[in-house]
Structure formats: structure tokens, C-alpha cells
Amino acid sequence: MEGREGKGGRQRLFVALDLPDAIRDDIAAWGEAELIDPALRAARRESLHVTLAFLGGRGPDEAAAIAALVRGFEAPGAPLRLEDPVPLPRRGRPSALALPAPSPATADLHRGLAERLVAAGLYEPEKRDFWPHVTVARVRTEGRGARRPEAVARWPGDLPKALKEPFYGVRVTLYRSELQPGGARYVPLAQVELS
């Protein structure tokens, strides 16, 4: 689509495990009450996900091949649970806030997907270990053009007990990330339901 792509028709892509609507609703409700520091910008409700593979800028042919691979991906639904929020990075001034989502099944999904993408010549695995998490807020940067995150005075409290109950991630989606002034918007390009 015109105007939606970067240089040379490239799109910024990633594959994610979607969270069930009820969990997105509960995280959004928690965020409305807890993400009150003006330096924090809460993620949009529909943007809440666990990234399985970050693909970066890709041209149309690669994007089509990745979409086909995602549509043909077969795997069981992955149980996961959320933990209390942690500022990231852990050292230095934080630029984001994430909920860790420890889950061997999600790590298996990541591995299975990465193996298929690598076999198709579409992905170079990351050197760092896979760490499943849901980013719930970004920290605004200081002034125009500045990259340094603002200082956050009031970090949110812990998650309510109900949000720490295990649940299933049931859908894998290829997203295009569109950078916008109000924060990135993620457009679904291909999806597969897990069994």
C-alpha cells in the first residue's frame, strides 16, 4: 500500500503470539489505573502481543513468502502466564515497561517458527536468548528529536491476581509495524489459529 511502506517498498515486520481478547481487556483496564505517569505511553489494547520473531524491514517478495509461511504454520496453542511489570532495559534509564510471559510452549513456538524461517532463508536468528514478554508501555522521550527517555516518577504497581492466572495464546500473526506520532500501529497481514 502506498505511503505505508518504507524505502524501496520495505515494511517493518514481526511475527507475534496474540493474546486472547479477555486478557487484552484486563491488561488495558489495569493500565488505565496504573500507567498514570505522564512519561508513560500505554500500548494500544490491540497492540498487546508476545513477539515470536522480529524480521525488520522487508521487501514485498519476502513479505509475501513470510505471510505464506505463517499461514501454513501448525502448532498447538501455547499456555503462558504473566508476571509483574519490569522496566526495560534493566540497566540505565528505562525506555519501556514489559510483563514477562514465561512459557516453555511459547519458546517452542518461537523455535519452530524460527527454524522454518531460517530453512526458507527468511530469518537470521537473534544472538540473545528468546525472552517472551508483553510490552505494555513506552517511555516518552525528552523533547523534540531527543532519544533519551524521560524519567518516570511513578511506576505501576503489581498485576492483580486474576491477571497472573495461566491462559492460552491461540493465534500467530504476521504484523507490519507503522510508525506514527502517537505510537506504532500494528497491521495484521497473515494469521493462523493454533490447534
Task: Write out the residues near ligand 2AM by the rule CB under 6 A.
Answer: 14, 51, 54, 96, 135, 177
Nearer to ligand 2AM, 14 or 30 (CB): 14
Nearer to ligand 2AM, 58 or 162 (CB): 58
How far does the chain reach from its first CA to its final CA, in angstroms? 32
- The one-letter code for the residue type at 110 is H
Nearer to ligand 2AM, 128 or 195 (CB): 128
Nearer to ligand 2AM, 126 or 162 (CB): 126
Instruction: DSSP letter for 74, please.
Output: -
Sign of CA dihedral 87, 43, 124, 56: negative
Cα–Cα separations (whole angstroms), residue 134 to 65, 82, 142, 144, 148: 26, 8, 24, 27, 22
CB of 57 to ligand 2AM, least distance (A): 11
d(CA 56, CA 13): 5
